[in-house]
Each structure stands twice: as structure tokens, then as C-alpha cells.
A and B are shown apart, each in its own frame.
Chain A
Amino acid sequence: MNHKRLWSWLPVFAALALLLAACGGAPPAQAPQATEAPAAQATEAPAPTAAPAATEAPAATEAPAPTAAPAATEAPAAAEPGGKLTILYWQAITILNPHLASGTKDYDGATLILEPLARFSETDELVPYLATEIPTVENGGIAEDNTSITWKLVETNWSDGTPFTADDVVFTWQYCSTPETACTNASNLEPIETVEAVDPQTVRITWKEPNPNPYISFVGPLGMILQKAQFENCIGAAAISDAACQAANLAPIGTGPYKLTELRPGDTALYERNPEYRNADSVFFDEVEIKGGGDAASAARAVCETQEVDYAWNIQVPKAVLEPILASGNCDPVAGGSFGVERIVVNFSNPDPALGDQRSEPDQPHPFLTDPAVRQAINLAIDRQAIVDQLYGPTGYPTCNVLVVPAQVNSPNTTCDRNVEEANRLLDEAGYTLNGAVREKDGVRLVVDFQTSINTLRQGEQAIVKANLAEIGIQVNVKAIDAAVFFSGDPGNPDTLNKFYADLQMYTNGPDSTDSQAYLSSWQCSEVNSSANQWNGNNDGRYCNPEYDALFAEYAAEFDQARRAELAIQLNDILVNDVAIIPLVNRVTPQVKLKNLEGPTYSTFDSVLWNIQEWRRVP
């Protein structure tokens, strides 16, 4: 009887053991907490502005150290090349042909295998990859009349041992310029008249008309070169319908530092050293694994707390979650450049549902947001610093500009300090008087609908903006829309950002090229969204300013790069000073890496893995 009672206690013992185990685990958990204070400072300091300096420095000064000190006692053993690099993405690679890719993760996955002619560094400068040098007007690579660009190619082999030639570049153009192939980067090749192989090591691109942005094609993540031999029969519809092409899309042959061992779409890509790579000896790791899936917070934990992986991509999580993880002391955040500017767009047309079909059409002016005083007051009332301090932490910093990258076009002329008194004064002066908590003028009450996508950060921002604007007598009704709808551009759905059936809306956007022309073109009158263009213009705020259009025309016709930068700044200043849109935060894509991994940096216009051939383990 006795022993029977004893074993019925078994689950209790088990539960106790579990509890003990959990408590036994507490001390190691507390250890990092003790160091939290200094570590938190460490993560705050290098965050946005100091980061470039911090990451540039080790590359320059420390890199030679391991090679210079082979005689030292322990150093060489620890820095021995080889081993495996494990990278964690919370989105998973699904395809490795970048021209048919559907997201950043795919471009990044292809970056290890395929190369463009040149890539962008963390300072937005071009670094030659499959080219021997960057063509310029000075070295004769770019024609004086800007009608063509000539690239000299390096002599190298594909990973199958066959030589890389100009024919492969020509082929990549043919592949993507065929509309039925449906390349996602087709617009980057759109200005091209023809691509010809002058000789096996030289390729000339002729533009349809003089091109102010000659580095638009075959450069960066959208410009990776495919092997002609592998994709020859994949032009047009065959690109995705032919079985051989389907296989090729998942395992392209490349010229890069690594070649594919195995791809499990939606999960893991496994790479190994490419012995044919032209600098194969300088590549440190034997193997690279990019694992996808899960969520951003646990990806950061896997680097900083359990140290299972070396590097995690885009750990965009709220500051309150991120900072304790970074405080563990095992990892360094890597962030910089710009992922895009989080902005509030002002609707210049009237979204009033009472208008029916005419809702938000450009010919229906907004009852009060067309008044510069109201826009300026909103701009002055918003507390950008609070948004960054409370929500973004090391993943963003306040900005007054729409155009922040590259650095030479980031306008120094704008200010956006918070000034509630001035905002109130502007509204008083414009005749908006307080009636209860909300201002009104001629029966028009300052009540705005403010929409954005569903996202913890964005709902936090909405709450701050709502509180800010309440201080100046503007009532904000917030609305959050599923991201899949908000960003869909579906002409049948009323909740898209394109239709903008609200007074204010918030999202992130930025230029996709170091040349700002495509980005700045979207505030022209001709780009205004309306039912006439199925709401598919690029000007969702329906801002229309002849002064802006005239300056943009001058900018588009200018070929001198210095002058173009000046004009880009002026265009930015018009948008900011006229409060066509309200820039809030320059977001950076934060990565984390283990302290013993050296090399990861960032790049605004390229993959974060752009320099993966230089990554190495340090003692």
C-alpha cells in the first residue's frame, strides 16, 4: 500500500524537478542583467550615427593584424580559415534566381553565388565585382554624350569551370528584356537600347536616350549576371514552366565566392566554398548556411543569448524587446545607411465618404489640409524624438528629410524641432478657434483620419501622433489596416494606400538607387493617383506644385552629378517646407553579429551580405 502511494506522487516529483531546473537556470539569466546598465549604453552609443565609423575602423586597422602576427603564440590557431558561418533570416529564401525573386531574402541568398558588375558599399560607393574598374567619363568608360557605358570585365570562371565572358552579360539582358520572362528588375534594364559584346572581356551598353544614371543596369542586387549556358533555353514563358529552368532557378551557377550545396526553398540554403572563385584563397569560411523562418526577436536571441548562430538579419523589433537582448554582451548590432524614411503623407484631396465616387479624386480639394498653416502646425506638433526614443531605439533616428541617402543629397537646410506654441499660434492666426477640445473654422472641424498598416511600431507611432495633435486642438481618429491590403494596390479595395481614403497615412519608403530621380519623380502633378489611372500613380498624397514640377524638369535634364545633387536637395526642401509629406524617422535595418565575427556591415542600396567574401572569424 505504502509504495503504491509513493508512486502516485511521481508527477509531483517530476513537477518539482522541473521547477528546480527552471530556478537553477535563473542565475545565468541574471548574470547579463547585472551588466545591463553599461551594456545598454554600449548599444545606444554606436547606434545610428557612430556605426559607420565603428564598422569601418576594424576593417582597416584590425584586418591585417592576423596575417601580420603569425608568429604570435595563440592568434593563428584561432583565426585559422574554415568552419561554418551560420546566418539567420526570419524570412526564408524561396528562389535563387534574383531576376525572378520575390524579396530581399532571395536577393541576399543569391548574393553569395551570383555577382553583378559592381556593388554598392556601406558608403554608397561603387565597388567593382565582375568589372575591372568603375567606368567614368574621365576614364573613357562613359561616353561624353551619356549615350553609352563600356564595362571592362574581369577574367574569371563560373563555378562549373567555364569562363565568364561578355556574352553572359548580353544574355542576362536578353533574358530580362523579354517581357514574358517577367523579370522583377525589368525596369532597371528599360533604358537600354542594346547590349553588345565588344570582345570577350568588354561589354558596351547603349541607352535609348542620354542617361543621367549610367549605373542603373547590371549593378547592385538587381543586376546579377546569369550564366548563358545554364539559362539559354529559359527565355520567356519557359523561365518558370520548363522543368530544367525551374531547377536552374533554384540552383544557379555563379562566379561568386560560394556555390550552392543544397537549397530547401522556404527553409535553408547551404553553400560551400567555390574553388573557381578568383580570390578563393581569401575566402575565410568553408561553408555558409542561411536558415530562414521564425521571428525577429528569437533570431536576435539565437545570436546574442544562445549564440547558436553568427549573424541575424533585420531584427526590427520594438526597443523594449531588443535592448535587453543586446545587453547580453555576446553580440554587436550592425546598423546604418537607410532602409527608408517613415513618413506621414498628407492627403491634398478630400476623402469624405459623402462624396461617393468623387472621394479622394484630385479635383476635390481637401477642406483644411490644403491650408499650409494646418499642415505646418501638424508638422511642428509631432514629437519625432519621442517616437525614436520610445519605439525605435537603435533601429532608427529622427529626420526632417524625405531624401536621406546617399549622404550628398541629404539636405542640411531643413529643421523640424517640436514647437507646440508656434503650432498653436499658426492655427490661431489662420482663424481656427478652439470649440471644446477641437479647433474649427467656418464650421469645419479639425478632425483627421490617420491610417497605416498593422504593426506594433506603427500603432505606437499613431498613439504618439494622436496625443501630439490633441495638444494643438486637432482630433485624430486612428485606423490600422492589414499590411497585405494596405500595400496591395488592389483597385477594388478601399483600404489601400494608393486610394488613400483618409486624411493622413503613414508608411516607409525610400529610393532604390543612388540616383534619386525615380524617387523624386513621384511628387509630380502627372503622377497624381486618381480613378483615371486605377489609383496606380506614385503620388498618393495628390500633391501638385508647378514650382516642384519645373525644378524636377530641370533636374531630369541635368547630367552634371554635383549639380544634380544640389537640385535633388532643393526638390527635397520644397516637399519638406511645403509639408507635402511629414518625414518622421530614418529607419535602418539592424543586424546583429557575434563579437568574434568580423566583416558584416550594411548597405543602403545593396544586400547586407554584399561583402560576404570578406567576412572572417577573429579570436
Chain B
Amino acid sequence: MGQYVVRRLLIAIPTLLITSLVIFAILALAPGDPLAQFALNPAVPEEVRERIREQLGLNQPWPVRYVKWLQQVSQGNFGISFNTKAPVLDLIGQRLPQTLQVVGLAYLIAVLIAIPIGIISAVKQYSLFDQIATFFSFVGFSVPSFFTGLVLMLVFAINLGWFPIVYSSTLKVTDWDSFWQQIRQMVLPISVLVVQQTAALTRFMRSSMLDNLTLDYVRTAKAKGLTDRLVVMRHVVTNSLIPVVTLIALGIPTIFAGAIITENLYRVNGLGQLLITSINNSDTPVVMALTFIFAILTVIFNLIADVLYGVLDPRVRYS
């Protein structure tokens, strides 16, 4: 097992290097210029723009910049953002709590809702509950978040006025009042994310349950005279959860990528919003840092999911 983990970690190194090279090349070769906003400003003539490019190190060819970037990163330094002229890691550090709060909580809620729904849907297959749950999960699948986001905003924030549309990241929770305010501003973005994530997990849990329900060990358990409830909860659910747990583990890195559309729509200052504004402004160091960290997390959680699978399912053995 230990050997397996070490081997996987060693394989991860070239994977990450290639990933970073590809992303860097795409960013460097894509059209766009961090100084584009100055292009038509007569107060910022070409000489000044050239000087700013020099200051930011953009005057060198991109392979040279990539090697320099790699050197920096190997020392744990992700460089400075072109826009804030301050270390990228500070920016990410500021954003991470908001993303964990909103996107992370949404993921947790989605898991907590999806598993029971999936179980009931499978046990009572083709019942009314199953039909309705199926209907809603397909709605969740097929309606994009920019649509649900706008509809929820229009109905609950603008028409009903229940929730704010502007997420205040400077709100300090000091008493019940501000706590309530924090809950209110989190409801809409979290709902949008929950609707989407629940949909996928529900379907997965349901099909996993259905696979197990027809197996012989279930019939054996029933034949022993165990109650339906005990059979389902003790035997079927635990076995059905195995693939779902790996799916959940694989989904965790996506939390750290933030939710680009939802965060932007509700002005949550999370990592997704940082990523998209940085892409728009060609702020290469920030985009590189975010995508690279995301790549590392994906590799790690892939490994965790595989290891977890082996722990949960005795039939799987690594050597």
C-alpha cells in the first residue's frame, strides 16, 4: 500500500509539470494583453506601456518566463499579480475562506440531501417520490447555473426582497443579528450550487442502490428474517456508498476551484471570481497559481479516492 502511494506520488510530478507547461503556453499564446485597458488611453503612450511590460517581466519570450516561473514556484513563491502588484498567495489566502464557506457548505448540503433522496428513490423505485426526485434532478442537471442564479435573484431578492443580491465580504459576524445577515446573503448562492450538485449525486446514489438491491446477499438477509429497514440501512446503503464516497472525494478539489458563474453573479469574492477576472485581465501569475494549485489538489484527491476505495472495499487490493 505504502509503495503504491509513493509510486503514484512520483508519477504525479511529471503530470503536474506538463500541466503547468500547457497552461502557461496557452496563456502566453492566447491573444490578450495585461495592458489592453491602456491601449486607447492617450495618457499612457506606447513607451510607458513598454516600460510597464518590462517591469512585469513581459518583454521576455514565454519559454524563458516559464522557466523563471518554475524556479520561483519550486521555492514556494507564486510571484506577484499584475493587477495588485502584490504576492499572489496573499490574494488566494484572502479568497479561500469565502469559497470554502459558500462553495464548501453548498457541497456539504448537497451531499446530505442527495444521499437520502437517492436511497428513497431506489428503495421505492418508480414511486411518486422517485418520479418527482428524478424530475427535479434532471432539472438541476439541465438548467445552467447562470439561469437558476438569475431566476432566484429575480424572484427572491428583487421581487420578494428576502435576500440581498450583493454579498458583503466585509461583514463581521459578531452577534445574532450579523449572523442572520450572513445566513441571508449565503442562501441564494448556496441554493444555486446545491441544486446542481444534488442532481448528479442523487442519480449516482440511486443507481448504485439499485445495483445492490437485486444482489443475492440482500435476498439472503431478507430470508434470515431481517426487517426491510435493517437490510437497506445496514447492508445495502453501506455497500452502495462505496462508489459514491469516491465520487464525493473526487469532487472536493472542485470546491477549491470555486464556482465561477455563481460567485460572479452574487459578487462572492471567492477563488472562482478571482480566476475569471484574472483571465479577463490576462493576469498570468494569478491564473497560473490557481490552476496549478487546482491541479495539485486534483492529483491528491484522485489518490485519496483510490486509496479510500481500497479501504472501503476489501475486494480491491493494491500492490
Contact = CB atoms under 8 A, between A and B. Distances in A.
Instruction: Check if A and B associate.
Output: yes
Interface of A: 5, 8-12, 15, 21-22, 24-26, 28-29, 88, 92, 94-95, 97, 100, 102-103, 179-180, 182-188, 222, 237, 239-241, 246-247, 249-250, 262, 264-268, 270, 289, 291-295, 298, 301-302, 305-306, 308-309, 482-485, 487-490, 493, 495, 507-509, 511-513, 518-519, 522, 536, 538
Contact of A266 (B39, B84, B155, B157): B84
B164 A306 contact: yes
A536 B46 contact: yes
Nearest to B157: A306
B38 interface: yes
B288 interface: no
A222 B156 CA distance: 42
* From B34, B87, B158, B273, residue with most partner A Cβ within 10 Å: B158
Contact of A262 (B40, B48, B170, B273): B170
A250 B84 contact: yes
A89 B63 CA distance: 37
A265 B84 CA distance: 7
B39 A246 contact: no
Given A102-B38, A182-B55, A294-B267, 4 more contacts: A11-B132, A25-B160, A482-B31, A511-B42
Interface in B134-165: 136, 153, 155-161, 164-165
A186 B164 contact: no
Contacts of A249: 84-86
B42 A522 contact: yes
B170 A264 contact: yes
B124 interface: yes
B238 interface: no
Contacts of A11: 129, 132-133, 136
A8 B129 contact: yes
Contacts of A292: 267
A103 B84 CA distance: 11
Contacts of B161: 28, 306
24 contacts: A25-B160, A28-B160, A28-B161, A94-B81, A94-B84, A95-B85, A95-B86, A180-B55, A182-B48, A184-B52, A240-B80, A246-B85, A264-B170, A267-B273, A289-B168, A291-B166, A293-B264, A293-B267, A294-B265, A484-B32, A487-B36, A487-B39, A488-B33, A489-B33
* From B31, B51, B82, B168, residue with most partner A Cβ within 10 Å: B31
A152 to B, nearest CB: 26
B10 interface: no
A187 B91 contact: no
A518 B169 CA distance: 42
Contacts, number: 198
Contacts of A22: 155, 159-160
A26 B159 contact: yes
B103 interface: no
Contact of A264 (B48, B157, B269): B269
B101 interface: no
A265 B52 contact: no
Contacts of B280: 484
B85 A100 contact: yes
B33 A519 contact: no
B274 interface: yes
A180 B34 CA distance: 18
Contacts of B136: 11, 15
Interface size class of B (residues with CB under 8 A): 35 or more
Interface string B110-122: 0000000000000
A518 B86 contact: no
Contacts of A10: 129
Pick the 9 closest A-B CB pairs, nearest first: A267-B269, A8-B129, A25-B159, A25-B160, A484-B32, A182-B55, A94-B83, A487-B39, A265-B84
Given A306-B157, A484-B36, A184 B165 contact: no
Contacts of B274: 266
Nearest to A509: B40
Nearest to A294: B267
B108 to A, nearest CB: 20
Contacts of A513: 43
Given A246-B87, A270-B170, A222 B43 contact: yes
Contacts of A266: 83-84, 91, 269, 273-274, 277
Contacts of B265: 294-295, 298
Contact of A240 (B46, B55, B158): B55
A179 B51 CA distance: 7
Interface in B87-134: 87, 91, 94, 124, 127-129, 132-133
